[in-house]
Amino acid sequence: MRPSGMDQPEEIIEKLDQEITLQLQQIDSNLSYCFNTITKNIIPKVTRYGAICDDIMDSGNWLGTMFQQTAAVDLKLNNPLVVEEQLDASGTGASKGAQPESLFPTAGGRKLVDSSGELAIPPSNASMSEDDFHTANVTTTTTGRILRLPSDSSEEENDDDSKRVAREADGSTLQRQRRKRKVSLLLQREYGSSSSMGLSPVHVNSNKLRNPDEEDDSLGSSPMKVHQDTQDESTKEVPVPGTVIHFATASGSGAGAASNL
């Protein structure tokens, strides 16, 4: 029994050490697996979801402007407390009593700097303080997209001359974003590859069809307009020269944006 008693503690210690090393290796492998899954799977999907949410906000932003301008109300979506007050003041509130408290527990002092969320329009001064609004948007955006587009100011002035009242304050950020997308799409189509038209046909054709229309329809986020574009896709797929002409107009802005990029 003694040799076994002599052997047992050392064996036990060895076994314990081996088990400890094994457990540590397992922990290490688990951590590396976790890191890989987070970096390779979760974060790209979350970023895609964020991009989709951006698209949704861009497409639904006209609803905000519509409600604001119909109600003649300065509805700050950035500040949830103001929204709560507005909703309570509107008096139709079926579901507002409990929701805003639960929805916005911490966001009282936080300001959203997302460009899609900026619906703060002073309704009376919308046409007057438009440039100030532009600059405010430009300075407050963190994404940097809007900051890169000072060259579109000429385009913007042309568009501002084109008397669209409904989008005058709020549509500017949308226009800039959409213009950026258009510019990137056109750059891809012109310089990247003439053969690979791998972009989504709705976007491409919307670009193809909006550029002729003095880019005035850049707020065209309504489903009707998209539908029209998709309808026109089948019919106007053939006439390439028109698109070439409009590429020439858009390539100036594209070159300007490229120089800025």
Partner 1 sequence: MVSTAMENPYEQVQVNILSRIVGNIEKLNQSVTTLNQELDSINTKNRNLEIMGQICENYHNSIQFNLNATGNRKPPL
The yes or no reply on residue 80 touching partner 1 (CB under 8 A) is yes
Residue 258 sits at the vertex; the CA angle it makes with 226 and 145, to the nearest 5 degrees, is 60
| 223: exposed, middle or buried (Cβ count in 10 Å: 0-12, 13-18, 19+) | exposed
Contacts of 222 (CB under 8 A, 6+ apart): 62
Structure tokens that stand for 213 in this block: 């229309």
CA distance 218 to 124: 23
The string of DSSP codes covering 191-221 is II-SS---S-HHHHHHHHHHTTTTTGGGG--
Task: Work out how close the CB of 49 gets to partner 1 at its nearest, in angstroms, rounded to a whole number.
Answer: 6
Nearest-CA neighbor of 53 among 117, 103, 9? 117
Q: State the number of binding residues for partner 1 (CB under 8 A).
A: 50
For 112, phi then psi, to 5°, come to -80, 130
The yes or no reply on residue 35 touching partner 1 (CB under 8 A) is yes
By CB under 8 A, which span of 22-30, 147-155, 219-227, 247-255 interacts with partner 1? 22-30
The yes or no reply on residue 47 touching partner 1 (CB under 8 A) is yes
The yes or no reply on residue 83 touching partner 1 (CB under 8 A) is yes
Tell me which of 69, 74, 85, 96 binds partner 1, using CB under 8 A. 96
Task: Work out how close the CB of 104 gets to partner 1 at its nearest, in angstroms, rounded to a whole number.
Answer: 7
The yes or no reply on residue 242 touching partner 1 (CB under 8 A) is no
Pick the closer one to partner 1 by CB: 93 or 122: 93
Which residues of the shown chain bind partner 1 in the complex (CB under 8 A)? Answer: 10, 13-14, 17-18, 20-21, 24-25, 27-28, 31-32, 34-35, 38-39, 42-43, 46-47, 49-50, 53-54, 56-57, 60, 63-64, 67, 77, 80, 83, 87, 90, 92-96, 99, 103-104, 107, 110, 112, 114, 116-117
